[in-house]
Chains A and B, each alone.
Chain A
Amino acid sequence: DAGVIQSPRHEVTEMGQEVTLRCKPISGHNSLFWYRQTMMRGLELLIYFNNNVPIDDSGMPEDRFSAKMPNASFSTLKIQPSEPRDSAVYFCASSLGISNTEAFFGQGTRLTVV
Chain B
Amino acid sequence: GNSVTQMEGPVTLSEEAFLTINCTYTATGYPSLFWYVQYPGEGLQLLLKATKADDKGSNKGFEATYRKETTSFHLEKGSVQVSDSAVYFCALSLRDSSYKLIFGSGTRLLVRP
Contacts and interface: CB of A to CB of B under 8 A. Distances in A.
Interface of A: 4, 31, 33, 42-43, 45, 48, 50, 55-56, 91, 93, 95, 97-100, 102-108
Given A107-B42, A108-B43, A102 B34 contact: yes
What does DSSP make chain A's interface, helix, strand, loop or mixed?
Answer: strand
A74 B9 CA distance: 36
Interface of B: 31-32, 34, 36, 42-46, 49, 51, 89, 93-103, 105-106
A99 B43 contact: no
Given A42-B106, A100-B32, A102-B34, A95 B89 contact: no
Contacts of A50: 97, 99
Nearest to B93: A99
B42 A99 contact: no
B75 to A, nearest CB: 15
Nearest to A31: B99
B100 A42 contact: no
